[in-house]
């Protein structure tokens, strides 16, 4: 009965043979592979003995001079072997106003019958789509239920009884069809014209899910291959249950591609063509079914981050690592005291910075350490931590904070440093106690030491290590007020290839090299610029960037440069410098700062030149009557307290010494003679 109704309408029928032809083991190589521009791959085939079953029998027809593939009467647009899908054109059901009978003509039902075949209407990629005015359309399957999963048959039709006398002359026809949702784009012209019907000449794309369907056979049974009909003939292929109805499809295993339905059809994928290994120092090796990455000599492959990192300095990390692991596997609950059986370790929270928490730890009542632990750890932060560790572990200099250990095995990585008790140069210049008279020569010495640390960084390795975030807050002061450059989170080994130039801006406002802002190229001269700002802070006691006040006066460096131009630097100087220090020293420092702040990086002095000039100026301050050459100045670059220009630390009572800080740290680890 239903079949007869469908034949009356424009509905398309799958009149498929009820019995399946015996499975063809391998199609002949003579089988046609293309029909028009559609590739026909086994289990689909054109002609006798070319397809797996008659369900996949494709006929290639020439319609109006164009070659097109058909399965039964449905035109095929695409076949996907991996998804088990097929796009075909489905006829649109319609109803139109008949002007002579003055009523709707209901003869053009739509529908598709694929009962008992390999095909099901996709329940995820199709939508039942209805267009018209005063219209109601319906869809139902052979059981009279609506659109659902597993449908192999549907009919579409329209409800009668709507009064169309008002609308027939501008919207004569209504349409209904099950179609690919992605292919539909509503246009108001669809209501008033027959454009919707005409786009594919009365048809629209619909997605069908196909599978190897023999009864209810699914993967567990099919793979046993008891009847010798298992269709996944290629080695390195997998059986995948159909997502729509019974049956299964075949996929090539991971690392393979090709046709899983043919013996030897799944071929190894050369993953290396997609460059999956680290671009910097990585080497890709394609292997059967997979690939492997290795690194050029001197670099170590990190599988987790897919990077090739410089492979050195990891030994310290391992030795201290265990100790730190003991501390931090419990760090959640032991902010104040924790006593394991063997050693006494006290940990206290001492501060939070940008993206980490810093703890102070005392190990065995002797060794004081600072432990930096990330709070919110993103991949980028992890990378920065790794960066910092890698760089610091390679460096040993008296003016660079020393990494004594690291712990990367735990969820959030941690770095363990020597503990630097006396705060930062920033606090010394701008802190609450700045009213205290810190002698200018001390500030100058600290700046000189910081410059030495930076010079060491720049000259230590080739390519040079760039700090990237030089500022007074990153210059720590040890118990003797000796400078220790810290915080290498933004550091990079100077790039050797172009792509590395594009790094994120990480420096601090007020210190950032203006040239870097334009070129995105971080160089050792960017650190020199930032150091120039530090010199200004020492000279003027002002912060690099004022957030309030006159907008034109906010930046210390621009204020300074214009004062230099007007020969009016004195007005900016900090009170205890004004008139007390020799004019030659002040002029020398201002000139040095000006050179460091040159807009053009190449015109700035190198860090080495800065160190030498500072050394010369400091000697000048001591013995203004002596002209000292640069080579002689080396003899004065010694540790603290051996020269007369040190302040007495005891006078800095305004800097509260923390409990336990008076005990010197392990002196051997604090100082390192190069
Ligand atoms: C198809 O296969 C059958 C059985 O192997 C064979 O008899 C027949 O000749 C084949 N037909 C063609 C066109 O190859
Ligand atoms: C496939 O269809 C063609 C005609 O369209 C027919 O000659 C052939 O026998 C069919 N083959 C199978 C396996 O059903
Ligand atoms: C489907 O076939 C059409 C033409 O036949 C082509 O333009 C389109 O890219 C194909 N889509 C896919 C997903 O293969
Ligand atoms: C297979 O499915 C994926 C995910 O739905 C889709 O992105 C891809 O285009 C499909 N491939 C074909 C050939 O239809
Ligand atoms: C309109 O109705 C008349 C009378 O019922 C019928 O003869 C004619 O075929 C119909 N026209 C169309 C286009 O269906
Ligand atoms: C329709 O009914 C038949 C038998 O009554 C049943 O086997 C089949 O699963 C039903 N189809 C759907 C889609 O529910
Ligand atoms: C349809 O509506 C028009 C006006 O709204 C009315 O004149 C006409 O009688 C209605 N026809 C039917 C069959 O109800
Ligand atoms: C359509 O017909 C109705 C009455 O049959 C009339 O009122 C209306 O103006 C017509 N509209 C157009 C666009 O011809
Ligand atoms: C839709 O298009 C087909 C093919 O062009 C045509 O035969 C049919 O009459 C059209 N139907 C309507 C309602 O326009
Ligand atoms: C379907 O499975 C039965 C065994 O369950 C087997 O005998 C038959 O050959 C299979 N048919 C096809 C077309 O694979
Ligand atoms: C496939 O379907 C069968 C029957 O529904 C089920 O037992 C089996 O676990 C499924 N296999 C997979 C891999 O999903
Ligand atoms: C690599 O990953 C580990 C673990 O997430 C992380 O600790 C380390 O910092 C990363 N190293 C680099 C260089 O990104």
pLDDT band at 355 (very low <50, low <70, confident <90, very high): low
DSSP symbols for 501-557: G-----S-TTT--HHHHHH----HHHHHHHHHHHHHHHHH---SB-SSS-GGG-BHH
436 and 564 co-located in one domain: yes
Q: Is 98 in the pocket of ligand 5 (CB under 6 A)?
A: yes
**Collapsed DSSP state (helix, strand, coil) of residue 497:** coil
119 and 241 co-located in one domain: no
HSE at residue 8, side-chain half, CA atoms within 13 A, is 11
In a domain, 648, yes or no: no
Q: Whose CA is nearest to atom 7 of ligand 6?
A: 143
Most confident of the following: 228-237, 480-489, 548-557: 228-237
Q: Ligand 8, residues 99, 102, 134, 166: which to mutate, most atoms within 8 A of Cβ?
A: 166
Domain boundary among 606, 624, 642: 624
Cα distances from 134 to residues 110, 163, 170, 498, in angstroms, run 19, 7, 12, 64
The count of other CB atoms within 10 Å of the CB of residue 285 is 12
Task: Tell me how far the alpha carbon of residue 100 lies from the centroid of ligand 5, in angstroms.
Answer: 7
In a domain, 632, yes or no: no
Q: Whose CA is nearest to atom 9 of ligand 9?
A: 202
Pick from 36-40, 168-172, 295-299: least confident: 295-299
Pick from 339-343, 364-368, 493-497, 527-531: least confident: 339-343
306 and 254 co-located in one domain: no
**pLDDT greater than 80 at residue 630:** no
The residue segments making up the domain with residue 280 are 271-310
Global pTM reads 0.53
Q: Whose CA is nearest to atom 13 of ligand 5?
A: 98
Which atom of ligand 3 has the smallest separation from the CA of 37? 5
Q: Ligand 3, residues 38, 40, 77, 125: which to mutate, most atoms within 8 A of Cβ?
A: 77
323 and 471 co-located in one domain: no
Buried b (16+ CB within 10 A) or exposed e, 589-612: bbebbbbbbbeebeebbebebbbb
Catalytic annotation present for 469: yes
596 and 617 co-located in one domain: yes
Ligand nearest to the CA of 222: 10
**pLDDT greater than 50 at residue 626:** no
Ligand nearest to the CA of 172: 9
pLDDT band at 645 (very low <50, low <70, confident <90, very high): very low
Task: Tell me how far the alpha carbon of residue 17 lies from the centroid of ligand 9, in angstroms.
Answer: 30
356 and 437 co-located in one domain: no
Task: Tell me how far the alpha carbon of residue 50 lies from the centroid of ligand 1, in angstroms.
Answer: 10
d(CA 563, CA 570): 9
Residues with CB under 6 A from ligand 9: 94, 96, 173, 194, 197, 201-202
Q: Which of 55, 469, 513, 612 is catalytic?
A: 469
Domain boundary among 392, 419, 446: 419
284 and 187 co-located in one domain: no
Q: Is 241 in the pocket of ligand 11 (CB under 6 A)?
A: yes
**pLDDT greater than 90 at residue 450:** yes
In a domain, 463, yes or no: yes
d(CA 196, CA 184): 10
In a domain, 488, yes or no: yes
CA-angle at 559, arms to 556 and 564, nearest 5°? 120
302 and 438 co-located in one domain: no
In a domain, 669, yes or no: no
How confident is the model over 305-316, as a mean pLDDT?
A: 64
Count: domains in the chain: 5
Q: Kind of pairing, strands 110-113 and 12-13?
A: parallel
Q: In the prediction, which pLDDT does 635 show?
A: 29
Task: Tell me how far the alpha carbon of residue 536 lies from the centroid of ligand 12, in angstroms.
Answer: 37
Residues with CB under 6 A from ligand 2: 21, 48, 51, 54, 57, 59
201 and 224 co-located in one domain: no
- Tens of pLDDT, residue by residue over 3-13, are 222 222 222 33
Q: Residue for token digits 């424009």?
A: 10
In a domain, 228, yes or no: yes
Q: Whose CA is nearest to atom 3 of ligand 10?
A: 227
551 and 586 co-located in one domain: yes
In a domain, 297, yes or no: yes
Ligand nearest to the CA of 226: 10
Task: Tell me how far the alpha carbon of residue 410 lies from the centroid of ligand 7, in angstroms.
Answer: 79
333 and 287 co-located in one domain: no
């Amino acid at each position: 009965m239903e079949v007869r109704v469908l034949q009356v309408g424009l509905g398309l029928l799958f009149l498929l043979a009820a019995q399946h032809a015996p499975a063809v083991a391998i199609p002949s190589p003579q089988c046609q592979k293309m029909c028009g521009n559609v590739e026909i791959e086994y289990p689909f085939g054109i002609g006798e003995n070319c397809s797996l079953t008659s369900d996949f029998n494709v006929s290639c027809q020439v319609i109006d001079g164009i070659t097109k593939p058909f399965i039964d009467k449905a035109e095929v647009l695409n076949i996907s072997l991996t998804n088990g899908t097929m796009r075909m054109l489905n006829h649109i059901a319609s109803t139109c106003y008949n002007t002579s009978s003055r009523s709707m003509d209901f003869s053009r039902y739509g529908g598709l019958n694929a009962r008992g075949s390999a095909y099901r209407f996709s329940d995820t990629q199709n939508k039942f789509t209805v267009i018209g005015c005063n219209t109601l359309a319906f869809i139902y399957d052979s059981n009279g239920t609506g659109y659902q999963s597993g449908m192999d048959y549907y009919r579409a039709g329209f409800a009668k009884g709507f009064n169309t006398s008002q609308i027939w002359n501008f919207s004569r026809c209504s349409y209904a069809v099950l179609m690919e949702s992605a292919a539909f784009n509503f246009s108001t012209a669809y209501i008033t014209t027959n454009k919707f019907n005409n786009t594919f000449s009365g048809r629209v794309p619909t997605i069908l899910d196909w599978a190897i369907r023999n009864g209810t056979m699914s993967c567990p049974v099919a793979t046993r291959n008891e009847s010798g009909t298992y269709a996944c003939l290629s080695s390195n292929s997998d059986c995948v249950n159909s997502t729509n109805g019974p049956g299964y499809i075949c996929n090539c295993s991971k690392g393979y591609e090709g046709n899983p339905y043919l013996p030897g059809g799944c071929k190894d994928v050369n993953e290396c063509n997609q460059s999956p290994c680290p671009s910097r120092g990585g080497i890709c090796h394609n292997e059967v079914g997979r690939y492997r990455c290795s690194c050029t000599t001197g670099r170590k492959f990190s599988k987790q981050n897919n990077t090739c990192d410089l492979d050195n300095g990891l030994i310290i990390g391992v030795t201290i690592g265990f100790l730190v692991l003991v501390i931090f596997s419990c760090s959640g609950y032991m902010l104040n005291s924790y006593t394991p059986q063997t050693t006494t370790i006290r940990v206290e929270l001492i501060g939070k910075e940008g993206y980490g928490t810093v703890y102070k730890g005392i190990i065995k009542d002797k060794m004081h350490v600072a432990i930096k632990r990330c709070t919110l750890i993103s991949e980028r932060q992890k990378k920065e931590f790794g960066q910092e560790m890698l760089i610091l572990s390679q460096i040993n200099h008296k003016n660079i904070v020393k990494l004594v250990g690291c712990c990367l095995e735990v969820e959030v990585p941690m770095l363990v440093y020597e503990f630097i008790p006396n705060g930062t140069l920033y606090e010394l210049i701008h802190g609450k106690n700045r009213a205290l008279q810190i002698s200018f020569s001390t500030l100058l010495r600290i700046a000189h030491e910081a410059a030495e640390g930076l010079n060491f960084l720049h000259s230590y390795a080739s390519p040079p290590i760039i700090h990237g975030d030089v500022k007074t807050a990153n210059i720590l002061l040890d118990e003797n007020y000796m400078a220790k450059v810290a915080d290498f989170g933004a550091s990079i080994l100077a790039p050797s290839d172009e792509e590395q130039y594009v790094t994120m801006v990480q420096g601090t406002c007020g210190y950032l090299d203006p040239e870097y802002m334009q070129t995105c190229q971080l160089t050792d001269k960017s650190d020199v610029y930032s150091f120039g700002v530090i010199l200004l802070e020492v000279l003027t006691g002002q912060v690099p960037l004022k957030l309030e006040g006159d907008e034109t006066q906010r930046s210390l460096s621009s204020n300074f440069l214009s004062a230099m131009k007007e020969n009016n630097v004195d007005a900016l100087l900090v009170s205890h410098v004004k008139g007390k220090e020799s004019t030659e020293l002040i002029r020398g420092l201002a000139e040095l700062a000006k050179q460091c702040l040159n807009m053009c990086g190449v015109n700035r002095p190198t860090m080495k030149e800065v160190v030498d000039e500072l050394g010369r100026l400091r000697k000048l301050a001591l013995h203004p009557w002596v002209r000292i050459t640069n080579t002689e100045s080396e003899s004065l670059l010694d540790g603290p307290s051996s020269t007369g220009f040190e302040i007495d630390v005891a006078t800095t009572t305004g800097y509260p010494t923390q409990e336990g800080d008076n005990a010197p740290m392990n002196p051997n680890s604090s100082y390192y003679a190069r």
